[in-house]
Amino acid sequence: MAPHATSPPPNEPITRLPPPPRPPFSPSPPRLLIIGAGNRGHAYASAISTSTNGVLVSVIEPIPTKLSLFGRKFIWGKREPVDGESFRDWKDFVSWELERREREKRGEDVVKGVDAVFVCVQDRMHKDVVLGLAPLKLHVLCEKPLATSLDDCVEIYKAVCGTEGDKRLFGIGHVLRYSPHNVLLRKLVREDRVIGDVMAVNHTEPVGWWHFTHSYVRGNWRKESTSAPSLLAKSCHDIDILLWLLCSPIPGPTKPPHLPTTISSSGSLQYFTKHRKPTLAGPATNCLSCPAEPGCQFSAKRIYMGPQMQGRQAHFVSIVLPKIEDIVSSSGHAAGDEALLAKLSEDYDSSLPESEIEKRNWFGRCVFESDNNVCDNQTVTLSWENDPIALDIETPLQALEGRGAKTATLHMVAFSQKICQRFTHIYGEYGEIFADGDKIEITDFKTGEKTVHWPYVPEGGGHGDGDEGLARQFVLAVDRVKNWGEGVESAQEVYVGCSVEEMVRSHAVVFAAEEARRGRRVVDFGGWWEREVGGRLKGGV
């Protein structure tokens, strides 16, 4: 969700970033396909239509209602879809595309193919879809996380990092890298070095108390066995943003990345368990039949229909009941409320096998009776040691710039009023920075002066315009390769700005942190990386 932007105080000196321009269209704009018409599919579709120089021409979605709503909104409008615009399964698309290419070779008049694909299916499906698309040699942007296991991440790396002359662009949904706020923050920290060497970073991801219940107690990401640990599902791009701020390459003479030395983590499922269930609730498994519901802050009726959400729940309601827009437009708001209440009242009893209960989301379910097991509170600590590397003309002090000892801490917490409105403290040798998604405050230790930057923050833009930024840069890279003869490696570096190895590395840090948390130990990341990942990326077992 986008942060609620605030305005600068009167008379405060400010600098502003203008909204990034939409790239000009080429004569043959990139043709784009989205696989998965859920939340992330909608976010990227909206970004494509407003912020990129590409054209969304096709969608794949197995649920008919979601397929129809998405297609009408973004692709075919009021007419009926034509050949190649909609598919129910990605395997059907692969077969269709292979046949289309054969017909094109025979000189038949066929629909134009797509140039790139946005993979927005459930996390555990990413590997199968990315590997299944590989024979088509399309450019791919995969929503985060890359995959739900380290082995699958390595498999994807090997599949997409093809031989020379056979490479394709690959992006990952680490949208925090692409918001104007974070782009400026990184420039200030790494390129301008406004606070000198970084000594420590404290970064907080406040998930939000009711957002957590929706997604990680009642929703798709509630169980590690069917999704992933919450650190991977929710905060893998928070880990990525820390690595991007502290050790990813910047323009200029290149040195090996200064990688963390050790990783530790602690956290657990603290609250959403049966032990916390109010006595008054008794055996109830559904909010709408629970005697404790009127006074329960986690009441599904309260969360999806209550005034305390201040209208912010519309997005979440559309996930609970995808066809609510059609119901409201055709029959009015009262009918929409009635349909929503009916959906929330859906319940189960002991006659329904547990395997069937696990297959679906019960958004009216008691949060203390769910089958969730992911952490609702977790802290990760990354530590770096001094690792100076001197170029030919550098002094020992210059060799240590950006490669000094430091720590970075991520705190992911469910119980917050803020909903994904991240905030970061960065402590340096010459000053400190506080960044909260709206503004960036820099305090200079020598003078005591404070400088405040107010980057461009759009109303309603996903992740502070990060969704738009990632889509814009990825599609621009596709355009440069397709229409302007730019090499894939160059476009990947210049426009996507992130290598596939970086994508795997930030995921690896998450898996190492989970290993540390479960084993209650400190992980030596250098040795762990070489043992678990590094050799395999170079072609080892």
484 and 449 housed in the same domain: no
Q: What is the mean pLDDT of residues 253-270?
A: 93
pLDDT of residue 255: 87
Q: What pLDDT is recorded for position 426?
A: 98
| Chain segment 523-538, per-residue pLDDT in tens | 999 999 999 998 888 7
Contact by Cβ (8 Å): 56, 32: yes
Instruction: Report the chain's terminal Cα–Cα distance, integer Å.
Output: 40
Q: What is the pLDDT of residue 5?
A: 43
Closest CA to 214 of 321, 291, 327: 321
Segment 474-488 mean pLDDT: 97
**pLDDT for position 428:** 98
Cα 175 to Cα 39, 179, 409, 444, 497, distances in angstroms:
14, 7, 20, 30, 12
Give the pLDDT confidence score for residue 403 in this predicted structure.
Answer: 93
Query: Do residues 333 and 442 both lie within one domain?
Result: no
Quick: pLDDT tens for 353-405.
Answer: 988 888 889 999 999 999 999 999 999 999 999 999 998 888 999 899 999 99
43 and 187 fall within a common domain: no
pLDDT beyond 70 at 11:
no
Say how many domains are in the chain: 3
Answer yes or no: is 8 within a domain.
Answer: no
Q: 496: domain range?
A: 14-176+470-500
| 286 plus 140 within the same structural domain | no
Whether residues 294 and 278 fall in one domain: yes
Describe the chain by its helix, strand, coil percentages, rounded to 5. 40, 15, 45
Average pLDDT over residues 460-482: 87
**What is the Cα 240 distance to its own chain's centre?**
10
8 Å CB contact between 75 and 15: no
pLDDT in tens, 44-70: 999 999 999 999 999 999 999 999 999
Same domain, 30 and 42: yes
Q: How much is the average pLDDT of 348-355? A: 87
Q: How confident is the model at residue 139 (pLDDT cuts 50, 70, 90)?
A: very high
pLDDT per position as a tens digit, 110-130:
999 999 999 999 999 999 999
Task: For residues 235 and 311, state if they share a domain.
Answer: no
The predicted structure's pLDDT at residue 3: 41
pLDDT of residue 540: 46
262-268/116-119 β-pairing: unpaired
Query: Is residue 2 in some structural domain?
Result: no
464 in any annotated domain: no
**4, pLDDT greater than 80:** no
Please tell me whether residues 137 and 278 are part of one structural domain. no
Rounded to the nearest integer, the mean pLDDT of the chain is 92
Q: Would residue 50 count as lying in a domain?
A: yes
Q: Note the maximum CA span of the chain.
A: 75
In order, the DSSP letters of 155-199 are HHHHHHS--TT----EEE--GGGGSHHHHHHHIIIIIS-TT-SEE
**Tokens 């003869």 identify what position?**
485
Positive/negative CA dihedral, 402, 405, 406, 407: positive
Q: Which of 327, 358, 389 delimits the end of a domain?
A: 358
Indicate whether 384 belongs to any domain: yes
| Per-residue tokens: 457 | 């923050």
231 pLDDT more than 50? yes
Whether residue 366 lies inside any domain: the answer is no
Of 187, 178, 196, whose CA–CA distance to 250 is shortest?
187
Q: pTM for the full model?
A: 0.92
pLDDT of res. 2: 40
* Confidence band, pLDDT 50/70/90 cuts, at residue 163: low
Q: What is the pLDDT of residue 438?
A: 87
Q: Do 29 and 155 share a domain, yes or no?
A: yes
Residue 451: the pLDDT is 93
Mean pLDDT in residue range 333-362:
91
Residue whose C-alpha is closest to residue 277's, from 322, 217, 224, 347: 217
H helices, E strands: number in the chain: 20, 16
181-229 tens-digit pLDDT: 999 999 999 999 999 999 999 999 999 999 999 999 999 999 998 889 9
Q: In the listed set 331, 358, 385, which residue is the last one of a domain according to the structure?
A: 358
pLDDT band at residue 7 using 50, 70 and 90 as cut-offs = low
Residue 62 lies in a domain: yes
Between the ranges 20-24, 264-268, 325-329, 464-468, where is the mean pLDDT highest?
Answer: 264-268
Residue 465 covered by a domain: no
Q: Are residues 201 and 316 in the same domain?
A: no
Percent over 90 (pLDDT), the chain = 80
Domain boundary among 295, 327, 358: 358
Is the domain of 38 the same as that of 88?
yes
E strands, 339-492, where? 377-384, 406-413, 423-428, 431-435, 440-444, 450-454
Same domain, 50 and 157: yes
Query: What CATH number corresponds to the domain at position 128?
Result: 3.40.50.720
- The pLDDT, as a whole number, for residue 1 is 40
H or E element in which residue 292 lies: none
Query: Quick check: helix, strand or coil at residue 432?
Result: strand
Please report the pLDDT score of residue 412 as a whole number.
97
- Which of 490, 534, 466, 476 is CA-nearest to residue 240? 466
* Of residues 97 and 461, more confidently modeled: 97
Check: CB of residue 173 under 8 Å from CB of residue 470.
yes
Residue 519's domain is classified under what CATH number? 3.30.360.10
Residues 258-277 have a mean pLDDT of 96
Q: Are 465 and 47 in contact (CB under 8 A)?
A: no
| Exposure class string for 99-131: b at 16+ Cβ within 10 A, else e | ebeeeeeeeeebbebbbbbbbbbebbbbbebbe
